[in-house]
Amino acid sequence: MIDCAGLSDRMVAVAHGVSVWEPGEQAHLHACRDCADEWRLVQAGGGLAHDTVIDTERILVRLHERLRTPVPQLRPASRPLRQVAMVAMAASIALLFLVPTVRRATNVAVVVPAVVVLPELERLNEHQLEAVLTELDGGNDVLSPMRLPRMGDLTVQQLELVLHELGG
């Protein structure tokens, strides 16, 4: 017994010459209008745009020309911008580890150790570290452990500063 779904699955393979119809399948194709219509469709689809001819040599010449062109390098971020980015990154990492408690579904407070070694923080100078800690102190009432600062959190002035740095 040939089922239509099974025959449908084999149509592409037969149309591409990977397989051939069994006698029973051929008989089914003659008897089943639905399968016959699909088979016509698959055959026509298999030959669609068969005469499209590309100019491979021309494509290769142009492709190699383009690939030999150096990739335009983005201008490295300026030093102040790098520092701002480092501070922001360090603050984001610190937020993950320094928030003191995490409440479980049972409402039992679990204390997370607050002493975490962060090499990024060690590289900050006194002012940068102060800025990070100020941000942490000031933001505890609005920042949950799951919410990290995003670009949208920047004030207009901060955003302008970043854009100014990017624009040189």
Partner 1 sequence: MTLAAADLPNDPDLVAAWRGGDEHAADLLVRRHGQALGRYLSGLGAASGEVDDLVQDTFFRAFRGLEGWRGEGSFRGWLFRIAGNLLKDRFRSGKGRIFLALDDHDIADHADPEGELVADEVGQQLVAGLAQLPRLQREVFLLRVQQGMAYDDIATTLSTTPGAARVHYHHAVKRLKEWLT
Q: Rounded CA gap, 118 and 113, in Å?
A: 14
Question: Is the Cβ of residue 19 or residue 92 nearer to partner 1 in the bound state?
Answer: 19
Residue 124 phi/psi, 5° resolution?
-75, 145
Q: Among 4, 12, 19, which residue's Cα sits nearest to residue 43?
A: 12
Q: Where on the chain is the footprint of partner 1 (CB under 8 A)?
A: 8, 12-13, 15-16, 18, 34, 37-38, 40-56, 58-60, 62-64, 66-67, 71
Question: Is the Cβ of residue 61 or residue 109 nearer to partner 1 in the bound state?
Answer: 61
CB of 32 to partner 1, least distance (A): 13
| Cα 145 from chain centroid (whole Å) | 24
Question: Is the Cβ of residue 53 or residue 111 nearer to partner 1 in the bound state?
Answer: 53
Question: Is the Cβ of residue 38 or residue 165 nearer to partner 1 in the bound state?
Answer: 38
CB of 88 to partner 1, least distance (A): 25
CB of 78 to partner 1, least distance (A): 26
145, 95 Cβ separation under 8 angstroms = yes
Residue 160 phi/psi, 5° resolution?
-60, -40
